[in-house]
Amino acid sequence: MYGRPLHPDPTVHPDPTAEPVQRRTTVDPLPWRAQEAVPRPAVERAHKEPSFDTHEAVDYAVATRLKKVVADRLADLLKDNPGMTAQAQAQRGRALINEAVAVWADTAAIERGHSTTPAEDRRLAEAVYDLLFRAGRLQKYLDDPRVENILVNGHDDVSVDYGDARRVQVPPVAESDEDLKELLRDLARRTGQSERTLSTANPFLALRLEDGSRLQAITEVTPKTYVTVRRHRVRDIDLPGLVELGSIDTTLAAFLGSLIRAKKNVMIVGTQGVGKTSLLRAMAREISPDERIGTMETEYELFLHENGHHRQIVPMESRLGNGERVDGHSVGEITVSDLIYPALRMTLSRMVVGEVRGPEVVPMLRVMTNGEGGSLCTLHAREPHMVFDRIAELYMEYGGNMTESLAYKQAANGINFIVFVKMIDETAIGGRRHRFVSHVLEVTGIGEMGRPATNTVFGPNPELGEPRAVPLMHPSCLSDLMRVGFPAHLLDLQRGSWQAPLELKVRAA
């Protein structure tokens, strides 16, 4: 063991007879933020069961027809004004939509024998605008801060995940599968990612939507078109914001912040949808605003270049090829791995890879091994003990002379800490989803059998009934963290800053 195990001290715990408090609604300033006066972004939290007002239905057959009328008129305008900006097109489009809806309303009044209502006209106009300039019927879910995931299994089988609420079936998002595919093609054109489209030759589509949501669509190789949209509900999150959400406590927030300031290389690990990206965003906000950093992503979803905090940032995004293959790669394709080497020439003090999921693990670990330190990335793995095997697996995909032992060696030399994020989902039994950090492992070099050795600095404490990360031992690099302001006595708190164990309906035996 490299670190010092903790010894329980009952004097530092709250009164066990006190009324338990599951989550703090206000958070004391973290030790390193005591003098900070900058307001943080609000964190959206809502657990109400959503409802749908059937009286606000829109006739999308009419909306689709009007969209085509307005689109044709806009196309004619663009022929005469080819330099019209997107904003000007949207403004002109709004006026044309209002005209088209007015004409439709006159015709509908004659057919019905009574006038349409202003509310009906307004809803129709908004639906046409969404179809023409936004995300169509998906837009109302993108506008709802409670929505976490949109799951489309064909145009008429749609579900929405509302944060901690259960999954809810919602109305169709298109009139047919072909209409759904046309909506996806429109989105690809509007997002400016012109090399990305959906067709028989290209049955997969990955997009970053205007609000930053991540869309993945699959067709042709499936019986119908499937779409998943992952929302970023905590896009501007920081470490105190994660404390408010219950993902970490103030003790762990202070520790994670000190890792950034001490320029430790950190890998954030977990399964899909547990909050790895949100944690990475929050930790990245601890980097000094004037420190020069680079981000490399498949699709922008960290938004570090848009958060107003970082002033010296070089954001990079990979690019798909045009379908032709040369040496196993599409012509024009630029991968995350391709981005890393040019980034090294940009005078960057840190590099942040949004998601390591392929051969880019090799150059990433080389950067961690040879660079100044302080780099960050995320990785998919189901359990903390699987991380190094997952890295070795990705190393083998790189080709060449890569071996398992080399992967272990570079992981041991390059990674300083692994932060594991976990989710416990009890929605099936009337509970909620709990996302939290469960482990913080310090990588201490090569251990037995050539595998990296680790210290579990933070982890669950079954004796306390606590599955969330609480202090278990001191890291071997504690002096480095103390030099950047970390209060070492926080690691002597057996429960961390949690006032009560996580409230679960089912507890581990």
**Inside any domain, residue 223:** yes
Whats the size of the chain, residue-wise?
509
Within 13 Å, how many C-alpha atoms sit on residue 201's CB side?
7
Q: Is 229 helix (H, G, I), strand (E, B) or coil?
A: strand
Q: Are residues 281 and 294 in the same domain?
A: yes
Helices (runs of H) and strands (runs of E) counted in the chain? 13, 17
Query: Could you tell me the residue range of the domain that residue 100 belongs to?
Result: 48-133
Instruction: Flag whether the pTM goes above 0.85.
Output: no
Label residue 93 left, alpha or beta by phi (over 0 means left) and psi (-120 to 50 means alpha). alpha
Sign of the CA dihedral with 197 first, then 200, 201, and 202 last: positive
Q: What is the pLDDT of residue 306?
A: 85
- DSSP of 441-458, one letter per residue? EEEEEE-GGGPEEEEEEE
- In DSSP notation, 102-147 reads HHHHHHHHHHHSSPPPHHHHHHHHHHHHHHHHS-GGGHHHHS-TT-
Q: Residue 437's beta-bridge partner residues?
A: 421
Alpha helices (runs of H) in 383-454, residue ranges in sequence order: 387-398, 404-414
Same structural domain for residues 168 and 192?
yes
Count the domains in the chain: 3
d(CA 440, CA 251): 12
Helices of type H across 192-306:
239-245, 250-261, 276-284
Q: Residues 343, 393: one domain?
A: yes
Q: Can you say whether the dihedral through the CA atoms of 436, 441, 442, 446 is positive or negative?
A: negative
Last residue of a domain, one of 114, 133, 152: 133
Looking at the fold, whether 184 and 284 belong to one and the same domain comes out as no
Question: CB atoms < 10 A from the CB of 17, how many?
Answer: 5
Evaluate whether residue 487 is within a structural domain. Answer: yes
Residues of the chain with confidence (pLDDT) below 70: 1-56, 164-165, 192-196, 233-234, 321-330, 509
- The first and second tokens of residue 426, run together, are 């009890």
Write down which residue in 133, 164, 196 finishes a domain. Answer: 133
> Is the domain of 254 the same as that of 298?
yes
Burial of 155 (0-12, 13-18, 19+ CB in 10 A): buried
Q: Residues 261, 265, 271, CA angle at the centre, nearest 5°?
A: 115
Answer yes or no: do 171 and 124 share one domain.
no
Sign of the torsion formed by the C-alpha atoms of 231, 233, 238 and 241 = negative
- CB within 8 Å of 265: residues ≥ 6 apart: 368, 373, 374, 375, 376, 414, 415, 416, 417
Q: Are 312 and 473 in contact (CB under 8 A)?
A: no
CA 505 to each of CA 30, 99, 432, 434, 500: distance values in angstroms, whole numbers, following the listed order: 31, 56, 9, 11, 15
CATH number at residue 448: 3.40.50.300
**Domain check: are 299 and 431 in the same one?**
yes
Residue after which a domain boundary falls, among 233, 260, 283: 233
Q: Are residues 307 and 246 in the same domain?
A: yes
Residue 217 included in any domain: yes
Please check whether residues 299 and 185 belong to one and the same domain.
no
Secondary structure class of 231 (helix, strand, coil): coil
DSSP-based three-state secondary structure for 335: coil
Contact by Cβ (8 Å): 452, 420: no
In the chain, % helix, strand, coil (3-state, to 5) comes to: 35, 20, 45
What CATH number is given to the structural domain containing 173? 3.30.450.370
Dihedral (Cα; 89, 91, 94, 99), 10-degree rounding: -90
Q: 382-385 long-range contacts, Cβ below 8 Å, gap at least 24?
A: 382/271, 383/420, 384/269, 384/418, 384/420, 384/438, 384/439, 384/441
- The CA-CA-CA angle for residues 486, 489, 490, to 5°, reads 70
Strands 266-270 and 417-425: parallel
In a domain, 365, yes or no: yes
Q: Is 293 helix (H, G, I), strand (E, B) or coil?
A: strand
Q: Measured between alpha carbons, how far is 131 from 124 in angstroms, rounded to an integer?
A: 11
Helices 361-370, 387-398: crossing angle, 10 deg rounding: 110
Does the residue 172 lie in any domain? yes
Residue 302 sits in the same domain as residue 435: yes
Residue 502 lies in a domain: no
The reply to whether 37 and 72 lie within a common domain is no
Same domain, 293 and 395: yes
Q: Is residue 506 part of a domain?
A: no
Domain-located, residue 326: no
